[in-house]
Structures are given as structure tokens and as C-alpha cells.
Amino acid sequence: MLDPRTLGRPVHLLPRFTLRLGESLGELFRQFNRRYRAQYQLGPISLKPALGTPAPTGRWLLGETALGRVACLVERRLLLSLMAHRYGSGADETQVLAGDEAPPETATEERLLALLGRQLLERVLGLLEIDEVPALESSLAPRNAPGCWSVQIPVSDGALGLESEIVLLLDAPCIDLVLKRLSEGQVARKPQQLPEAAELPRQLTLTLKARLLEQTLPLGELLDLRPGTVLPVRLKATEVLVDGSRLFTAAVAEHQGKLCLTSFADAE
């Protein structure tokens, strides 16, 4: 779907921002891997307009910055796996992740979510040169503001068979700043010297057929025709056809004993 808010904006440069974000968040999860002997890996990060779609369900952390609201959602399965690594629940962690019935939320889980949310937003806002992370509030149903963009960050752990996701919501001023910084970093390219264009007949080959005239005769006169009969005709504009379609009209001229077409005009 074409979003008119992306027209005329250097959205093709956004993968540079997601690459930098992936490097920053990747370093954070590598710290978790070293500390907890985990195997977390980040997948390709996507950044796109939210387009008014409802935000994913879960416990969100929301904060207000000078560039509008930021929001962070850490899927609970990822949070539970971090708790399992952090507090050493051992064999129970696989059952917790695979079980249909999730355990009730605890104060420890809320504190870990708040800590992780601040760490994630700190790195995102750092790329926007916002040094201070705002106070975060919990919400189960954040509303997407007009012009809001969604950042989706897949996270996996091969040892646990974990496939999870982190979702960030950034208000339009945040994305405006990102696009401005990306655009300012562009160096104007020198115009490339294009090869000389080939002559038109070599680029496009069409077979033209000229229909010099068309005469309608009553059936009686047609049956009366004999060899040598002269039909009075007047040559007017000639029709030029391509694959049976009438595309042009042209005038017929004689040149060195040959009939040529000239004065082409588009057929109405």
C-alpha cells in the first residue's frame, strides 16, 4: 500500500538507521549472552508507518520526549526467558516458554520489564541525540498517534526454540528528525555521463503499412468490372497502420520514381 506520507521523503535511506539500531541493540543482547550464557540473536529490523493499525497487545511502556511519544513492547515470552536465564530456573524455562498457560505476572517481572525497556529506549533515543530517557508508564492499550511509525525487532534464541519480538512506536517528529539527519549526510552525486543514445530505428523497430485508399462500390458496379476498366479515384491522406491499428495519417509524395510517405500526423 502506498502511503502518501512517504512521498518526497528519503525513506529509501531508512535501512541505514535500522542498521545502526541493530548494531546498538545487538551489543545489548551480546551482553546478555555473555552474562547469562544465552544465545539471543536479532533478526532484520523493519521500520514502517503504523498506518492507523492497532498496536499489538501486551504491556507497553510509554514516555513523552521533546520529539513526541515513544513506546516499547517486549513480548512476554522474551521477558520470561530473560528471567529464566537471570534467575536460573533451569529446566523449567522451556516449559514456561512452551506452555499455553502463562504464569501470573510478578513484581520481579515488572522490574525487569522496566529495566529492559529503559535500556532499549536509551539506545534508540541515543541515535536521535536525546540523552535522557523520559519517565515510563505502563499501558495495555496504547493508541497510535497520526503519523506514528513502528519499529519491529525480531529476537530469537536457538537453544530454547524462542521466536519473539520487540516493538517500538515513534511519533512523527522522531522519524522527521531521522530522515533529516539521513538526508543531510548525503553527498550530491556527479551526473553520470550516459552513453550516446542509439538512433530511433535501432531502439524501436515497427512495421508500417500504408493504406493508400479505400473505395466502396455497389455490387452491380463490382460485377461489371472488366480488364482495363478505369475507376475514378482521388488520393487523399493515407492511413498508416501498425499491426492493423490505424496510428497515423500521412501524405504521399514521389521521390526518384518511388512513392514515399511524409507529413505524418497522429490519427484521431
For residue 75, CA distances in Å to 54, 78, 93, 121, 156 come to 16, 6, 15, 15, 12
pLDDT given at position 60: 92
Task: For the full predicted model, state whether its pTM sits above 0.85.
Answer: no
According to DSSP, the β-strands at 162-170 and 209-211 are unpaired
Give 205-266's CATH code, choosing from 3.90.110.10, 1.25.40.420, 2.30.330.10, 1.10.260.40.
2.30.330.10
User: Quick one: which H or E segment has residue 139?
Assistant: strand 137-139
As a CATH number, domain 4-184 is 3.40.1550.10
Q: Are 136 and 118 in contact (CB under 8 A)?
A: yes
pLDDT given at position 267: 73
Q: For the chain, which residues make up each domain, given as ranges?
A: 4-184, 205-266
The three-class DSSP label of residue 80 is helix
Tens place of pLDDT for every residue, the chain, 268 residues?
556 566 667 888 889 999 999 999 999 999 999 988 889 999 999 998 887 677 788 899 999 998 889 999 999 999 988 888 887 764 444 444 544 566 788 898 999 999 999 999 999 999 988 878 889 998 887 777 777 889 999 999 887 788 999 999 999 889 888 988 888 866 555 556 656 655 655 666 778 888 887 878 888 888 888 888 888 877 777 888 887 788 888 888 888 888 888 887 877 6
What's the rounded Cα separation, in Å, for the pair 20 and 27? 11
Closest by CA to 78, choosing from 182, 162, 184, 143, is: 162
**Residue at grid coordinates 536509551:** 122
pLDDT given at position 167: 93
pLDDT given at position 121: 92
Q: Which residues contact 43 (CB under 8 A, 6 or more apart)?
A: 153, 154, 155, 156
Cβ neighbour number for residue 83 with a 10 Å cutoff: 19
Q: Are 149 and 51 in contact (CB under 8 A)?
A: no
pLDDT given at position 191: 59
